[in-house]
Structure 1
């Protein structure tokens, strides 16, 4: 058992005691444990468990790179991100030996700093045999131990520096208190350990290995979602009950907010308020933060609840700023760039554990952002090998690894927010999205929403945008709207909704979804064409369900209503009108996203091939088995039907 003690309370009681506790933690904590056991013995005489004191919340936190030899054997508090967790290791605490001659069992021998002192002779008076003792494992006492690797957070890294790491030892109840990707604050004792020159030699090196013996761990960075005050490291009931009143008041305020009729618009204005307009894009990003419900059927089929969004547009349209804002706000958010990301860096890679020498899997960006949002900038500049790893992640939400003797499937239940620039720097409206950014259709179809953010020249729009940007640099900026939620309230609102609100489709909403989907499909029936245009696919109705559930969560509603479905259709159509519109016909054609070629373009190509085939067959019947390419091109060049290069590549069979 353990008791958490706030270091600020120790300082308020006796500053001198606090100073001794930080400088000589081993001695002072041992005294704390003795006093605590005496108090417990007076209140509960039959209580036999050992209670350990865990100190947290030191007055000052030290930067990880500032740890130096003067801090050894002192209590320190550091912040960072967990990048690796080892498996649980059994650590020997008490050893029991048995004599091979007479079978006598020795008294338990305490382990001192990893050293086990084996008795040289049997302790039985009648035996006294020398070098006859052997370790009995099933009578020894073991404790759980885990080694985690802590890395500096990006805001603590100086200009031009690389992140520093430190090993942290977790014991007993602290094991598995954190997982890779968590940002934590650790209170512990900074210690040094000697390193032997060889495994069979007693000589040690002059350079010591340092690590932190963890006393307490808690999550930090309250500006992110899904953050709790502690990581369930046995906080006392008294400390929990003292916070119940405050938490209840906070929840009541959030529920009052959810009942406001304009809560949807208010949340939209509160998301990235420094970015001007882009309201529909912000609404889509809000849906991504709230998310839908993941569905697991008894048959084993899984349907993801996370929403994937792609932002495409001209340079200077705030795409990267939106990504940075979502990264800072989202739970377990990871920000990476397409140019600097490899396939293994995104998923997982095999490395050798320096502690045990075993081959282990290191988590990549997508695995570290499990149950969060992975923001990928410069998506169009990512290598094809790295981009191919996203297919499984964005639909099945797993990462399958089979390398170096390790076969595993890792969870990557993450929402992907990607940002891409056109290949020619400026978006060409005469080309499709796929032709502009050169992404494979199989990957593009996995995005629920694709937004085009274009820089269009308009005097009134430009003037309002310039005023907004200039106002951000005033000494007295423009007064922020009263109806904008502050960041902490927005974080609490989304966190509560994701954790406690799980809406289900009502009968009316389900019928509206079916009716709307059929209506979208009916738009593809063109009376003048023999072929049907695909205006919606099964993936679109799954996207609509996820968007509807996210919109219901914004109102703290357990039931998805018709108005949620209507708004989901509107959001999807806004995105599709921008990204999936065939400019030749002015209609939505999902073939642009699914295959990269619109139905009308495919029809024109088929007509061209048929016309050329008829022409060639007619000419060859009159002029013989061969004809010049110029004769084939001439009829079409005269009426400007098609570029001559197109004729050269058209298949005639």
Structure 2
């Protein structure tokens, strides 16, 4: 490249020292960040590329075009500044660039983008296990036992000493690698797939490999929708393991610099196993979205009509179906999982089945919930196989080992899995749901791999009755025509009928026509807009954990006895108490939203 190292060095130094978001700040934004990294003994400094562009557009252009050279200078400048502030600080701090001015879709990556910095969005579909990558090697002489100095890996190669370094020995080809004295770094290969809204007409999703190092390892989990900033690289591929001849086609991958979760319209998923550095790893996560809205959420929760307002705000374009929307709202809020001292546990996630006539907007409700849920997969019954729902065994193209690939239910762990056309699923695929919907795990014993995977997901399914339309001459069970074992695992079952009634039909027709010529945003002022609704549900899921009062316990017992008196309810008594318990907990949470 023709860039001047001195000029870039000076430009980076000026940017880190003098950049301020507003002129009133005494200390620069990145000087504060560097001091904070030193305090917490961190290993990386997040640098917003938009800030670099605002301060020095020429530096931004060089950084995007020649990232390997400029980022190396960035790290040198950073370490120089850190050593001046705290001479005793030993860790190596790296600059992690994010928020480029333009992102590129996976299918638009060209050879002209190689060795440049790019930003892409997609969904993680596979993460490899952690691979140790050698950084410094130490060799020992087999003749005299002499240990060599650490040899740093240079461009992926280790220059193995051919002669012993001891003057008295000087034996040839006697050096062997000492594993315990070498220094290794964590590496992980992640597979990223295009998001559905970026796929063109008639296209199939493209995938690309990401290379994660050090702190970025395990930053994203399969099923996460992420934005990745990295360097697009190409590497040669050997024809065989033992041959030095390489193929004429290069293999491309992205060397990852920064990873953040995207899709702000979705709810934030609470991570039960969040580490202490989880916040610094995903500091642009949607979890901070509701922090500035807490006061507004508290005001909303004190309103007496909050339950009905939330119901109206859920899929406002779909006419009425208030009872169904209340159930879906309960599913979004989730219940409290109950753990007994004996070790047994009852799930806290609610499973819902919508059964009804065609044209009653069941699939529209499913699509809306899928867009709102934090982690979720939308699938159709006819197009889903049993292994596609749970997990399947495949050969890893990188290592050649047999590995488990996550299916739809495992990918939507801690989210909602939406299954359309539930009645058209094969019996084999449907039988896989029994364990998932009750124990919330997937047990696999295939190709020598025996594993139990977490599938802590709520299932939202919709189906048509047995003859496509509801037959009033048959009973409800005969109309739904699902196995009782599966039916008992749904906590809420809604029957949506399309009855011919002149008054109702007139109102429905007016509503549908109004959607086409009126501005939907101005149609109802009493509806909570989508960002506030998602923030409200996210806050409730994370911070509110209601406990049953004595009055609620009495009401639960009375409701259960009344339900049993009316007739058969699918499932054992323990199941009924559990599902009613969950529903009452969520209703209690919605009505008594006590901060």
TM-score (norm 1): 0.81
- Could you tell me how far 1:557 is from its partner in structure 2? 3.6
Q: 2:270 touches 2:542 (CA, 8 Å); kept in 1?
A: no
User: Which secondary structure does the structure 1 equivalent of 2:52 belong to?
Assistant: helix
One of 570, 577, 591 as aligned partner of 1:541: 577
Q: 1:293 touches 1:502 (CA, 8 Å); kept in 2?
A: yes
Q: Give the Cα–Cα distance (whole angstroms) in 2 for the partners of residues 232 and 551 of structure 1.
A: 33
2:199 aligns with 157
Map 1:122-521 → 2, pairs under 5 A: 122-226=164-268, 248-477=291-520, 479-521=522-564
Q: 1:173 touches 1:233 (CA, 8 Å); kept in 2?
A: no
Q: 2:351 touches 2:490 (CA, 8 Å); kept in 1?
A: yes
User: Which secondary structure does the structure 1 equivalent of 2:452 belong to?
Assistant: strand
Q: Give the Cα–Cα distance (whole angstroms) in 1 for the partners of residues 465 and 75 of structure 2.
A: 64
Q: Give the Cα–Cα distance (whole angstroms) in 1 for the partners of residues 564 and 63 of structure 2.
A: 71
**Which stretch of the first structure deviates more once superposed, 433-442 or 76-85?**
433-442
Deviations 1:290-312 (A, max 9, x none): 01011122322120001111111
1:35 aligns with 77
List gaps (5 residues or longer) in structure 1.
525-532, 560-653
1:11 aligns with 53
User: Which secondary structure does the structure 1 equivalent of 2:359 belong to?
Assistant: coil
Q: Give the Cα–Cα distance (whole angstroms) in 2 for the partners of residues 430 and 470 of structure 1.
A: 34
Deviations 1:431-468 (A, max 9, x none): 12332243111111111111111110011100000000
Give RMSD over aligned pairs: 2.2
User: Which secondary structure does the structure 2 equivalent of 1:77 belong to?
Assistant: strand
2:90 aligns with 48
Q: Give the Cα–Cα distance (whole angstroms) in 1 for the partners of residues 222 and 531 of structure 2.
A: 24
Q: Judging changes above 3 Å, is the alpha-carbon distance between structure 1 residues 556 and 6 closer, same or farther for their aligned structure 2 residues?
A: farther
**Which stretch of the first structure deviates more once superposed, 98-107 or 275-284?**
98-107
- Could you tell me how far 1:158 is from its partner in structure 2? 0.6
- Could you tell me how far 1:553 is from its partner in structure 2? 2.6
Q: Give the Cα–Cα distance (whole angstroms) in 1 for the partners of residues 377 and 323 of structure 2.
A: 24
Q: Give the Cα–Cα distance (whole angstroms) in 2 for the partners of residues 207 and 249 of structure 1.
A: 50
Q: 2:269 touches 2:415 (CA, 8 Å); kept in 1?
A: no
- Could you tell me how far 1:124 is from its partner in structure 2? 1.7
Q: Give the Cα–Cα distance (whole angstroms) in 2 for the partners of residues 167 and 50 of structure 1.
A: 26
Deviations 1:488-511 (A, max 9, x none): 000000011011111111112112
Q: Give the Cα–Cα distance (whole angstroms) in 2 for the partners of residues 34 and 234 of structure 1.
A: 26
Q: Judging changes above 3 Å, is the alpha-carbon distance between structure 1 residues 556 and 513 closer, same or farther for their aligned structure 2 residues?
A: closer
Q: Give the Cα–Cα distance (whole angstroms) in 1 for the partners of residues 569 and 263 of structure 2.
A: 46
User: Which secondary structure does the structure 2 equivalent of 1:176 belong to?
Assistant: coil
Q: 1:29 touches 1:53 (CA, 8 Å); kept in 2?
A: yes
- Could you tell me how far 1:555 is from its partner in structure 2? 4.2
Q: Give the Cα–Cα distance (whole angstroms) in 2 for the partners of residues 330 and 447 of structure 1.
A: 19
1:109 aligns with 151
Q: 1:154 touches 1:163 (CA, 8 Å); kept in 2?
A: yes
Larger Rg belongs to: 1
Q: Give the Cα–Cα distance (whole angstroms) in 2 for the partners of residues 521 and 235 of structure 1.
A: 48
Number of residue pairs aligned between Structure 1 and Structure 2: 547
- Could you tell me how far 1:423 is from its partner in structure 2? 2.6
Q: 2:164 touches 2:170 (CA, 8 Å); kept in 1?
A: yes
Q: 2:488 touches 2:570 (CA, 8 Å); kept in 1?
A: no
Q: Give the Cα–Cα distance (whole angstroms) in 2 for the partners of residues 475 and 482 of structure 1.
A: 14
Q: Give the Cα–Cα distance (whole angstroms) in 1 for the partners of residues 235 and 90 of structure 2.
A: 33
List gaps (5 residues or longer) in structure 2.
1-42
Q: Give the Cα–Cα distance (whole angstroms) in 1 for the partners of residues 564 and 211 of structure 2.
A: 58
- Could you tell me how far 1:542 is from its partner in structure 2? 1.3
- Could you tell me how far 1:520 is from its partner in structure 2? 2.9
Q: Judging changes above 3 Å, is the alpha-carbon distance between structure 1 residues 9 and 477 closer, same or farther for their aligned structure 2 residues?
A: closer
Q: Judging changes above 3 Å, is the alpha-carbon distance between structure 1 residues 166 and 337 closer, same or farther for their aligned structure 2 residues?
A: same
Q: Judging changes above 3 Å, is the alpha-carbon distance between structure 1 residues 505 and 402 closer, same or farther for their aligned structure 2 residues?
A: same
- Could you tell me how far 1:480 is from its partner in structure 2? 2.4
User: Which secondary structure does the structure 1 equivalent of 2:493 belong to?
Assistant: strand
